[in-house]
């Protein structure tokens, strides 16, 4: 560890808010944590690489926000309450201005969800952000992918295709629509929604790779198929204004990075789901049904046509 690394860690450390269950935070070989007795831990780890997961010119604050958001979204998709995280920050050089900006976004979101940064490291290399996040969930109450049953309704929160729309504009060298770009750079992890879906949803996943690709994970894990109504997929006003109907529908069905929750629930919970949307002031849309068989029917849109390809 060099003086440069010490300085960066000090800059990060001074921003940290702790929690009562953090026995020992940043500064030793490990953090020491006291999980609440009788609860389970939900654990996830996601890495974002510059130029792969975000445009290289993305503002440091947006990078910090998004790196945490994608991990919080995994906790949300399990119905877990965020608790602790560790950060592995790889930078081309010791860049205090980058770290300060990164912290602005990272800690703004961390504070919102009461998640404490308890450790990690800084290393030298191409810009990359690895985060491991841990949440708490009651035994048997986690939202898994394998609980969808034939006849269940398929729901999606918010709107789809916004982040993919911004990315499509960026790739085409066009100016990005601010409302769409905000969805790409500052996704909202649906943590409260995930918590409220415990006991209500039969299966849940966050939309990171594209609706059809992610719903396919639920179908495979549950041993079922799905019928999706492409016309029912929710679109924002900004997306409708920026793309023709055909392009928009593909972005909605196959574009990634929206971080909405796609969940299934028995028909008997239809009214409860609608009531929850009202409580959270977050629109839900019923986009289809779970059916016997395998695979997803969606008016002819291939599920991998535009899905994100890490190793394409």
Spatial distance between the Cα atoms of 177 and 309, rounded to a whole number of angstroms:
24
Entry field: residues in the chain: 312
Q: Is-contact 77 70, C-beta < 8 A?
A: no
Between 146 and 299, CB nearer to its own copies:
146
C-beta separation of 68 from 131 below 8 A: yes
Distance in Å, CB of 78 to its own copies, minimum: 4
Q: Is 134 annotated as a binding residue?
A: no
Q: Which is nearer to its own copies, 201 or 239 (CB)?
A: 201
Q: Quick one: 118 or 160, whose CB is closer to its own copies?
A: 118
Q: How far is the CB of 30 from its own copies (least distance, A)?
A: 4
What is residue 91's three-state secondary structure? Answer: strand
Minimum CB separation of residue 57 from its own copies in Å reads: 17
Query: Does residue 29 have a known ligand-binding role?
Result: yes
206 is annotated as contributing to ligand binding: yes
Q: Is 74 annotated as a binding residue?
A: yes
Question: Phi then psi for 127, rounded to 5 degrees?
Answer: -50, 120
Torsional sign, CA 110, 111, 114, 117: positive
Report how far residue 147's alpha carbon sits from residue 164's, in angstroms, rounded to the nearest whole number.
28
Closest to its own copies by CB, 6 vs 178, is 6
308 is annotated as contributing to ligand binding: yes
Cα 178 from Cα 172, distance rounded (Å): 16
Neighbour-count burial for 284-293, b at 16+ CB within 10 Å, e otherwise: bbbbbbbbee
User: Cβ closer to its own copies: 127 or 242?
Assistant: 127
Closest distance of CB 235 from its own copies, Å: 24
Is 181 annotated in some ligand binding site?
A: no
CB of 161 to its own copies, least distance (A): 18
The annotation places the binding site for Mg(2+) at 29, 44, 46, 74, 121, 206, 209
Q: Which residues are annotated as a binding site for ATP?
A: 120-121, 145, 208
Binding-site residues sit at 29, 44, 46, 53, 74, 120-121, 145, 206, 208-209, 257, 308
């Amino acid at each position: 560890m060099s003086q440069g690394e010490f300085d960066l860690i000090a800059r990060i450390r001074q921003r940290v808010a702790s929690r009562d269950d953090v026995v020992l935070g940043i500064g030793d070989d490990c953090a020491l944590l006291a999980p609440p007795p009788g609860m389970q831990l939900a654990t996830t780890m996601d890495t974002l690489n510059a130029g792969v997961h975000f445009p290289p010119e993305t503002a440091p604050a947006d990078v910090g926000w998004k790196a945490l958001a994608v991990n919080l979204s995994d906790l949300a998709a399990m119905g877990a309450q965020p608790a602790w995280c560790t950060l592995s920050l790889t930078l081309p050089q010791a860049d205090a201005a980058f770290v300060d900006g990164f912290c602005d976004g990272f800690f703004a979101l961390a504070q919102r969800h009461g998640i404490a940064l308890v450790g990690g490291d800084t290393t030298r290399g191409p810009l990359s952000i690895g985060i491991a996040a841990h949440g708490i969930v009651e035994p048997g109450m986690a939202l898994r992918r394998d609980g969808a049953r034939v006849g269940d309704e398929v729901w999606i929160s918010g709107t789809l295709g916004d982040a993919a729309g911004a990315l499509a504009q960026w790739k085409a060298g066009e100016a990005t629509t601010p409302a769409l770009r905000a969805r790409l750079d500052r996704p909202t992890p649906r943590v409260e929604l995930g918590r409220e879906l415990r006991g209500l949803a039969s299966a849940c996943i966050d939309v990171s790779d594209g609706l059809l690709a992610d719903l396919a994970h639920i179908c495979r894990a549950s041993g079922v198929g799905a019928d999706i109504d492409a016309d029912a997929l929710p679109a924002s006003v900004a997306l409708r204004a920026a793309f023709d109907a055909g392009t928009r529908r593909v972005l909605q069905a196959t574009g990634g990075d929206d971080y909405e929750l796609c969940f299934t629930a028995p028909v008997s919970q239809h009214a409860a789901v609608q009531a929850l949307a009202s409580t959270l002031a977050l629109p839900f849309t019923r986009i289809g049904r779970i059916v016997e068989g395998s695979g997803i029917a969606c008016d002819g849109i291939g599920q991998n046509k535009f899905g994100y390809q890490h190793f394409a």
